[in-house]
C-alpha cells in the first residue's frame, strides 16, 4: 500500500438527505477467516462475494507470500490454491490488518509451527491474544511471545490433538483460529464459550463444504471432528450486516429514504431493536432488501417508567460493538437523551471528541460510556478517522452537518467499506475523495 492511501481525505458538503438505493457487499469479517481457511487444503477454493477492500487485499498479499496461487476472476471472486505455506510474512502487511492473526490456526495445523509478528488493525483499545493461546494450547501446542513481540506457536506432536476447550471469552477471531486448527486435529474437539457471530457461522459453513464435521453452528458450543485432509470447494461470503447497519444510520440521521439491497434479514433483528431505540425504523422490502423510509419518529426512546434509555453492546446475538459509533452519531440528530455503553473496547468512545468539535452535545463519562443529548446542529469541521466504524460515523456526521467537512485518514474507513465514495454519490450526497 502506498503513502497516498494514508494521505487521502473526503470532502463532504453536508445538509442533503441520503436518497436512493444501495447494495451491501460481502462481510469483511467473514472474508478474512475464509481466506485464511484456504491454507487448510491443497485443492482450489473458490470464494465469491468477497468485498474489494483494503483489508482483503492485504490478506491476499499475505497468502501470496506463503506461496498461495490466487486467480482473481473478477473484483469479488477469487480461486485460491495453497502452496508451500512456508514463505516469510512481511511485517508491514501483518501489522496492517488485524485479520492476520487468523493465519495462526491454519498454519499451525499444516506446518506444526508458526511465527508471526503482532497483528495491527484498528486502535480501539486492548486486543488481547490470550484467548488464542488458550485455545491453541488446548489442542497440543506451546505458545510463546519473544522479547521482541514475535508470536511463536509449535505443536507438541506431528499433528494437533483434539481437546475439550473452554475459551475465557467469546472472542470471534480466537474461535475462528481454534475452529480451523481443530478441523485438521486428531480426534474430536469441543469448543465451549465460542463466539457465534454470522461471520463465525460463515467460516463453519465453509469448513463443512471443505469436508470438516462441525455440530452446533450458531451456538456457543461447537463440536469439531478432525479430518486427515480437507478438500476444495466453492463458497459465497455472506452479506455484511455492519455495512447494512451503517446505511440504516446514514438514511435515518440525514432524514432520507434509502432502499438497502442484498441484506440477510435474520442478521438484523437486534440491529432493528437498537435503531428503534433512537427513533429510526426500517421495513422489509422483499426477500433481501429493507427500506428506511423518510418519515421517522426521530425521538430517543425512554425506558419503562420514563428513565433514560441505554444502548450497550454484547457478543452475538447482542447489539454489535461495531455499530455503537454509528448509533452515537445518529442519536445526536434525535430528540432526547440516551446513554451509550461500550463494554468491549475501552478506546472506541474517544472518537466523540470529534463529534463534540462539530457541535454535538455529548458527555463522555469515561472510556466506556457517553450520554448523548439531541438534537444538535452539527457544523462542518476537519476531523480524522480513528478506526473503520468511527470513520463511517464521522462521514454520517459530516452529511448531517451544516457546511463543509474534511475527513482525514480515510484509509481506516476504506479498510472496511468498498467504494464508499461512489455509493454515497449515488445516494445524492456531495462527497469527493481527494488525494
Catalytic machinery residues: 122
**432, burial (CB in 10 Å: exposed 0-12, middle 13-18, buried 19+):** exposed
> Which of 375, 374, 379, 339 lies closest to 357 in space, CA to CA?
379
Measured CA distances, 43 to 48, 103, 164 (Å): 16, 18, 29
Are 252 and 244 a contacting pair, CB within 8 Å?
no
**303, burial (CB in 10 Å: exposed 0-12, middle 13-18, buried 19+):** exposed
Is residue 193 classed as helix, strand or coil in its secondary structure? coil
Residues 6+ apart with CB under 8 A from 374: 300, 331, 332, 333, 334, 335, 336, 337, 361
**407, burial (CB in 10 Å: exposed 0-12, middle 13-18, buried 19+):** buried
Radius of gyration of the chain (CA): 22
Is residue 254 classed as helix, strand or coil in its secondary structure? helix
Are 264 and 248 a contacting pair, CB within 8 Å?
no
User: Which letter does DSSP use for residue 321 in this model?
Assistant: G
Cα separation, 345 vs 175, in Å, equals 18
> Which of 384, 429, 373 lies closest to 411 in space, CA to CA?
384
Is residue 298 classed as helix, strand or coil in its secondary structure? coil
CA atoms within 13 A on the CB side of 288: 10
Is residue 101 classed as helix, strand or coil in its secondary structure? helix
> Which of 290, 274, 249, 273 lies closest to 392 in space, CA to CA?
249
User: Which letter does DSSP use for residue 63 in this model?
Assistant: H
Amino acid at each position: 500500500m502506498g503513502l497516498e492511501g494514508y494521505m487521502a481525505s473526503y470532502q463532504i458538503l453536508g445538509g442533503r438527505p441520503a436518497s436512493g438505493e444501495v447494495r451491501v457487499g460481502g462481510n469483511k469479517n467473514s472474508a478474512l477467516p475464509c481466506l485464511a481457511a484456504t491454507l487448510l487444503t491443497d485443492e482450489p477454493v473458490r470464494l465469491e462475494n468477497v468485498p474489494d477492500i483494503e483489508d482483503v487485499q492485504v490478506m491476499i498479499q499475505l497468502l501470496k507470500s506463503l506461496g498461495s496461487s490466487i486467480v482473481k476472476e473478477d473484483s469479488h471472486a477469487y480461486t485460491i490454491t495453497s502452496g508451500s505455506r512456508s514463505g516469510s510474512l512481511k511485517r508491514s502487511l501483518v501489522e496492517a490488518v488485524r485479520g492476520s492473526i487468523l493465519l495462526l490456526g491454519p498454519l499451525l495445523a499444516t506446518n506444526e509451527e508458526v511465527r508471526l509478528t503482532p497483528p495491527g488493525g484498528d486502535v480501539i483499545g486492548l486486543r488481547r491474544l490470550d484467548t488464542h493461546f488458550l485455545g491453541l494450547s488446548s489442542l497440543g501446542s506451546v505458545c510463546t511471545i519473544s522479547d521482541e513481540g514475535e508470536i511463536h506457536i509449535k505443536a507438541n506432536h506431528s499433528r494437533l490433538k483434539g481437546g475439550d476447550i473452554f475459551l475465557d471469552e467469546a472472542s470471534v477471531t480466537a474461535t475462528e483460529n481454534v475452529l480451523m486448527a481443530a478441523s485438521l486435529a486428531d480426534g474430536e474437539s469441543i469448543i465451549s464459550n465460542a463466539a457465534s457471530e454470522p461471520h463465525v457461522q460463515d467460516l463453519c459453513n465453509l469448513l463443512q463444504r471443505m469436508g470438516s464435521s462441525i455440530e452446533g453452528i450458531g451456538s456457543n458450543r461447537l463440536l469439531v471432528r478432525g479430518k486427515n485432509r480437507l478438500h476444495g470447494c466453492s463458497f459465497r461470503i455472506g452479506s455484511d450486516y455492519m455495512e447494512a447497519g451503517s446505511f440504516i444510520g446514514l438514511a435515518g440521521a440525514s432524514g432520507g429514504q434509502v432502499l438497502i439491497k442484498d441484506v440477510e434479514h435474520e442478521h438484523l433483528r437486534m440491529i432493528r431493536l437498537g435503531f428503534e431505540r433512537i427513533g429510526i425504523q426500517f421495513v422489509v422490502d422483499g426477500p433481501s432488501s429493507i427500506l428506511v423510509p423518510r418519515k421517522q419518529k426521530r425521538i430517543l426512546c425512554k425506558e419503562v417508567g420514563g428513565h433514560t434509555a441505554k444502548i450497550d453492546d454484547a457478543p452475538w446475538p447482542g447489539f454489535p460493538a461495531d455499530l455503537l459509533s454509528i448509533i452515537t452519531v445518529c442519536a445526536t440528530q434525535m430528540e432526547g437523551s440516551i446513554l451509550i455503553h461500550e463494554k468491549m473496547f475501552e478506546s472506541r468512545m474517544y472518537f466523540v471528541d470529534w463529534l463534540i468539535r462539530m457541535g454535538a452535545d455529548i458527555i463522555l463519562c469515561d472510556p466506556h460510556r457517553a450520554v448523548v443529548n439531541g438534537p444538535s446542529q452539527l457544523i462542518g469541521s476537519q476531523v480524522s478517522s480513528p478506526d473503520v466504524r468511527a470513520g463511517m460515523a464521522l462521514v454520517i456526521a459530516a452529511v448531517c452537518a451544516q457546511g463543509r467537512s474534511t475527513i482525514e485518514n480515510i484509509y481506516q474507513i476504506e479498510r472496511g467499506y468498498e467504494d464508499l465514495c461512489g455509493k454515497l454519490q449515488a445516494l445524492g450526497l456531495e462527497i469527493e475523495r481527494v488525494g
